[in-house]
Amino acid sequence: MGLLGAGVGASVLGTSACGTDATSSGGGGGTFQVWVLQEEAQNVAHEGAVDRFNKNSDAKARIVASPNDGYTDKLHVSMGSSSKPDVFYNWGGGSIRTYARDNLLVDLTPYFEKDTAWKDSFLPSVLDAGQIDGKYYGVPARGMQPIILFFNKKVFNDHGVQPPRTWTDLMAAVDRFTSNGIIPFALAGGDAWTELVWPEYLVDRIGGAEVFNRIAAGKKDAWRDPAISTSIDMIRQLVDRGGFGDSYASVRWDGAGASNLIAQGQAAMHLMGSWEYTNQVNDQPEYAKNDQGFIPFPIVEGGVGDPKAIVGNPTNYFSVSKDSAHVEHAIEFLKQEMSSDAYVDQWLKAGDVPAVSGLESRMDNAADPAFAKVVYDMVNQAPTFQLSWDQAIERAQAQPMLDALAKVFLGQMDAAGFVKANEDAA
């Protein structure tokens, strides 16, 4: 679910992206580039970080902003050339795994081990999500976006339903709502990534985080874990019980179709990333103010997964190219700014909840302190924060997985077919 930092426009790139002027990793002077996505809120925070760093550094950081569309392809081309970015924005997981294994990135593990205060300044579950093969290659760069179960308080009250705490509660709520003409779950089924939140949470609740960790690591037979098949069967049961209504396949994410369904009371719930809250505040302010509720994903009875575990987009990360002529300056920039008070406050004001420790006392600086606290507490208490599957695995495997999942929701593929489709793509 690559929704973090989408935007338009681009700044002009320099002729050399890696170590523009200096000739050694510890050299003085020169300029190093920091690649980011073009988006107003995050660019304000990044420019502020660069300005503060440049005041006291002989090597100067320079922001290079590019549109979200095509960014990963552009990065892929650059990383295979002699003009690699010094510091670049990414999603962790599959988005950088190949670069790490090809020895193109700086292993940040020794830096965190040497400066434990820096390491401890970030929430462990989010920092750990930036690991590849047990080593750190990313520094948290912005806010956290866990998947949350949103619900319409008025619809629940009108029909005498309590927010579901278990899967049994959830299915009972589905039956109550369908019998009263209410769509239990809004779903933009025209875009398969919106469906991915369901197996992500169900697999984690049923089998624990290790199930998908083995898939992401490319372990043999990992897709054959019983938790995968069980989760697909449960999704099919939910679809067959009318959990998403009859027209979900024609609803698209663009145009806010699913968000409108819950805001207008036609649907009772929406399993979606924390950005749903901000979208509703902007598009349906009265609903957001009075009736928008939010809870963690329910417990699945009999599952071995930790009920406090979460999935979604832990954050975006900054990584450092090993070929950079400014490795030490780049790391000093990340150490100085990524958990600094000024940087964190800029994100809070923009509506994000940064992945830093000890944020409780500063929630009043957030655009919406109450919701910021919910997000922060969820992540702070989570033993694991699973990166969205389509970002965690290799790009060549992600689309076949989404295509197979879409067929599951349409009743065109069963659990065995889903497993086989993913094994064939691996």
- Residue 349's CB is within 10 A of a number of other CB atoms, namely 14
Pairing of strands 183-185, 267-273: parallel
Q: What is the pLDDT of residue 19?
A: 44
- On the question of pLDDT at 113 being above 90, the answer is yes
**If pLDDT is split at 50, 70 and 90, which confidence band does 76 have?**
very high
The lowest-confidence range among 184-193, 314-323, 348-357 is 348-357
State if pTM tops 0.75.
yes
Is 146:125 a contact under the CB 8 Å cutoff?
no
Is 143:352 a contact under the CB 8 Å cutoff?
yes
Is 309:386 a contact under the CB 8 Å cutoff?
yes
CA dist., res. 149 & res. 146, Å (int): 10
pLDDT digits (tens, 9 = 90+) for 157-174: 999 999 999 999 999 999
Q: What number is the average pLDDT over the span 385-406?
A: 92
**Over the chain, what is the mean pLDDT?**
91
Three-state SS string across the chain, please? CCCCCCCCCCCCCCCCCCCCCCCCCCCCCCEEEEEEECCHHHHHHHHHHHHHHHCCCCCEEEEEEECCCCHHHHHHHHHCCCCCCCEEEECCHHHCHHHHHCCCECCCHHHHHHCHHHHHCECHHHHHCCEECCEECCEECCECEEEEEEEEHHHHHHCCCCCCCEHHHHHHHHHHHHHCCCEEECCCCCCHHHCCHHHHHHHHHHHCHHHHHHHHCCCCCHHHCHHHHHHHHHHHHHHHCCCCCCCHHHCCCCCCHHHHHHHCCCEEEEEEECHHHHHHHHHCHHHHHHCEEEECCCECCCCCCCCCCEEEECCCEEEEECCCCCHHHHHHHHHHHCCCHHHHHHHHHCCCCECECCCHHHHHHCCCHHHHHHHHHHHHHCCCEEECHHHHCCHHHHHHHHHHHHHHHCCCCCHHHHHHHHHHHC
Residue boundaries of the structural domains of the chain? 31-142+315-377, 145-311+394-425
Q: What is the pLDDT of residue 18?
A: 54
Q: What is the pLDDT of residue 151?
A: 98
- On the question of pLDDT at 351 being above 90, the answer is no
CA dist., res. 95 & res. 288, Å (int): 33
**If pLDDT is split at 50, 70 and 90, which confidence band does 129 have?**
confident
- Of the options 3.30.450.90, 2.30.30.40, 2.120.10.30, 3.40.190.10, the CATH number for the domain spanning 145-311+394-425: 3.40.190.10
Q: What is the pLDDT of residue 187?
A: 98
CA dist., res. 205 & res. 149, Å (int): 14
Instruction: Please count the residues of the chain.
Output: 426
pLDDT digits (tens, 9 = 90+) for 2-51: 444 333 233 333 333 454 444 334 446 799 999 999 887 678 999 999 99
Is 235:203 a contact under the CB 8 Å cutoff?
no
The torsion defined by the Cα of 295, 300, 304 and 310, in degrees rounded to 10, comes to -30
Q: What is the pLDDT of residue 271?
A: 98
Q: What number is the average pLDDT over the span 70-78?
A: 91
CA dist., res. 70 & res. 147, Å (int): 25
Compare 7 and 289 and report the one with higher pLDDT.
289
CA dist., res. 409 & res. 244, Å (int): 10
**If pLDDT is split at 50, 70 and 90, which confidence band does 101 have?**
very high
CA dist., res. 224 & res. 415, Å (int): 10
Compare 138 and 366 and report the one with higher pLDDT.
138
- Of the options 2.40.160.100, 3.40.190.10, 3.30.70.270, 3.10.129.10, the CATH number for the domain spanning 31-142+315-377: 3.40.190.10
Q: What is the pLDDT of residue 278?
A: 82
Q: What is the pLDDT of residue 282?
A: 82
Q: What number is the average pLDDT over the span 90-101?
A: 91
Task: Note whether 31-142+315-377 and 145-311+394-425 share their fold.
Answer: yes
Q: What is the pLDDT of residue 281?
A: 86
CA dist., res. 270 & res. 199, Å (int): 15
Percentage of the chain modeled with pLDDT above 70 = 93
pLDDT digits (tens, 9 = 90+) for 225-281: 999 999 999 999 999 999 999 999 999 987 889 999 999 999 999 999 998 998 898
- On the question of pLDDT at 109 being above 80, the answer is yes
Is 89:5 a contact under the CB 8 Å cutoff?
yes
Q: What is the pLDDT of residue 166?
A: 98
**If pLDDT is split at 50, 70 and 90, which confidence band does 319 have?**
very high
Here the tokens at position 286 are 């009265």
Is 382:205 a contact under the CB 8 Å cutoff?
no
Q: What is the pLDDT of residue 21?
A: 46
CA dist., res. 145 & res. 155, Å (int): 25
Q: Residue 74 — φ and ψ, nearest 5°? A: -60, -40
The lowest-confidence range among 16-30, 47-61, 322-336, 382-396 is 16-30
Q: What number is the average pLDDT over the span 81-90?
A: 96
Conformational region of residue 158, where left means phi above 0, alpha means psi within -120 to 50, and beta covers everything else: alpha
